[in-house]
A = this chain, B = another copy of it.
Amino acid sequence: VMPEGNPELGEQKAYSCQFCHGATGYSLRQDYPNLNGQHAEYLFNAMKHYQKGERGSALGMMMKQQVSSLNDQDLADVAAFYSEQKPGKPE
């Protein structure tokens, strides 16, 4: 079950994510997903799948490393941060 997420803390914990996913989750690359405005519970579940190695592609393994050191509260905070960002392409 997902803990209550704190988006302010999530922004700090998501520092390293920006290099692939962009500052607010609109990703700079076409093959990386946009996270801004996505459902927080889906983001949390997806990161858990990566953490458990259930997404077996090369990028899946890279993501596994990225989230390996985060606990459930961290993941919920990161998920809360991105889900609260304005969806779509930033102006």
A: residues with CB less than 8 A from B are 27, 29-34, 37-42, 45-46, 49, 54-57, 60, 86-89
Q: Are B31 and A45 in contact (CB under 8 A)?
A: yes
Complexed CA–CA distance, A29 and B45 (Å): 13
Number of copies of this chain that the complex holds: 2
What is the predominant secondary structure among interface residues of chain A facing chain B?
A: loop
* A41 touching B30, Cβ below 8 Å: yes
Are A55 and B45 closer than 8 Å at their CB atoms? no
Which residue of B30, B37, B45, B60 contacts A87 across the interface (Cβ within 8 Å)?
Answer: B37
Residues of chain B within 8 A (CB-CB) of A30 are 39-42
What are 5 pairs between A and B in contact, CB < 8 Å? A27-B42, A31-B41, A33-B39, A56-B56, A86-B88
